[in-house]
Every structure is written in C-alpha cells, then in structure tokens.
Amino acid sequence: MLRTKILTATTAIAMTAGAAFAGSHSETGNPMVGGAPMFADKTIVENAVNSEDHTTLVAAVKAAGLVETLSGEGPFTVFAPTNAAFDHLAAGTVESLLEPENKDQLVKVLTCHVVAADAMSMAIKGMIDDDGGTHPVETVGGCTLQATYDGDTIMIEDERGRTAEVTIADVKQSNGVIHVIDEVLLPAM
C-alpha cells in the first residue's frame, strides 16, 4: 500500500513537472527541433547543441571558430541545415571542410547561412512580396541568396542555383532566429 502511494505521488509529480515544462515551452511559441525544446531566452549556439538534427552543423561551427560569434548579441538569422542536408553533399565534402587547412572555406560556407538581422518568416515573405516574388538576401559571408515562397514554404536559393526549403521556421533565440533548412547553402566558387 505504501509502495502504491509512493508510485502514485511520484507519477503525479512527474506529470505536473512535465505539464509545467510543456507549458513553459509552449508559451515561447518555439517548436521542438531535433527532439529538443528550443528556448527563446537561449542563444543560437545554446539551443543548437541540443538538437540531434544539427550535430554536423554544431561540429562545423566549432571547427570554424564561430561559437563565440554566434553566441554574441546579434541579431542573427541563421538558416540551419540539418545533418541530412549535409549528407546531400558529395561524399567526403564535410570531412574535407572540417580539416584545419580548409577552415577559411568552412567559415565562408557557414557564414553564407547567417544574416545580420532578426528576420521572422512573415517579414521574409513581406520582403519577397515587396520585391515582386524574389528577395535578395545578403549574408555575413558575402553571399547573395534568393528568397522565394510558395504557400507556407520559404525557399532559399544559393549562389550555385541549389534550393533549400525552410522545414521549421521562426525558432526564436535570444540573439535572433533560426530557420531549419533541408540543404546546405553554398557560395559561388
């Protein structure tokens, strides 16, 4: 009987804590990314390290020495490719980019995913509409991406004509916003 009361009390505590956690997370309006909650009061790096879908991106950010930058005040908009997006690159590309001698190239690729602004999806769509259907997006890496949309889906075209779709939009961060994408954006070479 005592064991039943303990189990019942433990279950009630766990359910209450789970509901409180879910409530506090849902209040941020942020989706789960890579199986982890994304918190609006944490930085891009603090959230990204918890996403199972972004381990390659996090390793690349560390190898490029960009952790401090993306932990800074911002604001930043980051188009964050998933592990599967990196898998779409030619065999050996990621491993090559992570080599110390290719750090400059890695920095260029990663900073072509970062915009020095806090651009939520509705603002991006508004800019696309204002520009007649395609909006040029200047990145901190010097790339010019082209943003378009179809219905609710925002697409980002890189300088090589490859298109990534935003699969999860508007992941709020303390120093900007993340939009999860399904392809790696590459600079013109």
Q: Where are the domains of the chain?
A: 1-29, 31-181
More confident residue, 23 or 27: 27
What is the value of pTM for the model shown? 0.83
25-32 average pLDDT score: 63
Q: What is the CATH number of domain 31-181?
A: 2.30.180.10
Task: Give the model's pLDDT for residue 184.
Answer: 97
**Contact predicate 153/109, CB 8 Å:** no
CA quadruple 84, 85, 89, 95: dihedral sign: negative
Task: Give the model's pLDDT for residue 10.
Answer: 32
What letter would DSSP give residue 73? S
